[in-house]
Amino acid sequence: MRRKINYLFCSLFVVLFATAPTFAQTTADKAITIPFTLLPSGHILVKATIAGVEGNFVFDTGAGITAITKSYFDKLKGTEKEDGGYTGFRATGERLDLELYKVNNFALAGLKKGKIELSAIDANLGGIDGIIAMNVFGDRPFTIDFTAQQIKVETRQTLATAKQNASLIHIQPEDARGKSLTVFAYYKVNDTLTLQFSMDSGAGKDVYRLNSNLMARLGVDASDTTKVRKIAKPSEMNNGHVSSIYLTRLSKLATIDAPQLSTTNFPVQFVEGLIYDGILWINWLGKQLTFDVANKSLWVRK
């Protein structure tokens, strides 16, 4: 299951269309705690109920759109197909034409919504029923606590506490037509290039992907087989789509806003056709990550 998840949940439904996000101010609702299981693969596994049917889902900040497997979707009653659809792109450039549905009674622990929008995919996710995107939180800040293994939906008061003794990273939200939400931030790679990375909790453990066009500028020689290994990765969604990936290591990665948040000698996958500068998993940044998308901020506590 780990191998399937590591590849499949790498920004599965991120899109190319970006608009300026608009959010209401954080409400003073009570804080909500959502327990999760941190899988050996680095993924955040939560239990949620949709239309009265419980399932296991990966919480994925890089997914954009909540998506469930067809086998789980077939158990739901009262689904409403929308007239229009949604075209998105996987991070590898693979096009996905999605049908969209409105479904009733979404509950993620204490977070409850009368209706949400999602897509259904015909894919085997290794026992996982789907992916929950970060836009289910609406305009409310939330904290991923890897030590306590819980997601906390913050209030004004608890958000102020979460910011204490924390490092600030400015993030760039990408809100595509009010349907898909992902976030990005700038990093310095090898003390040379400033690159914008998708912040992807669904990427998998120790996953750092960069656009293959950056290899030469970072001093990586693709023909040096003593340091670089090339693999071909077929898509789980489309057998005709194969990604060429170059595996190697780079010396340093650090956030622009808080250079002390860094990692060294880290594994890298240079991906041909990647639609971003890069994608990275977020667990390494700190023990607690507080996303305040409305204020374009990520607060990190080590």
- Distance, in Å, from the CA atom of 296 to the CA atom of 139, rounded to the nearest integer, reads 11
For residue 97, what are the CA distances in angstroms to 60, 88, 121, 142? Answer: 20, 6, 10, 30
In the chain, ranges of CATH 2.40.70.10 domains: 2-18+32-140, 181-301
What's the confidence (pLDDT) of residue 15?
Answer: 37
What's the pLDDT at 23?
A: 33
Res 236: pLDDT: 63
The rounded distance, in Å, linking the Cα atoms of 203 and 7 is 7
Scan for tokens 């700190």, then name that residue.
Answer: 286
Angle at 215 between CA 92 and CA 221, to 5 degrees: 125
CATH of domain 181-301: 2.40.70.10
Give the pTM: 0.88
Closest CA to 136 of 216, 205, 210, 34: 34
Question: What CA–CA distance (Å, rounded) separates 128 from 72?
Answer: 9
pLDDT digit string, tens, across residues 154-204: 999 999 999 999 999 999 999 998 999 999 999 999 999 999 999 999 999
pLDDT of residue 234: 77
pLDDT of residue 239: 65
Point out the residues of the chain with pLDDT beneath 50.
1-28
27 in helix, strand or coil?
coil
290 contacts: CB under 8 Å, gap ≥ 6: 141, 142, 143, 154, 159, 162, 163, 166, 298, 299, 300, 301
Write the DSSP symbol of residue 64: B
Q: Tokens for 290?
A: 């507080």
- Look at residue 94 in the predicted model and tell me its pLDDT: 78
Q: What is the pLDDT of residue 243?
A: 84
Beta strand 297-301 pairing with 288-292: antiparallel
Question: What is the tens place of the pLDDT at every residue in 115-139?
Answer: 999 999 888 888 899 999 999 999 9
CATH number of 2-18+32-140: 2.40.70.10
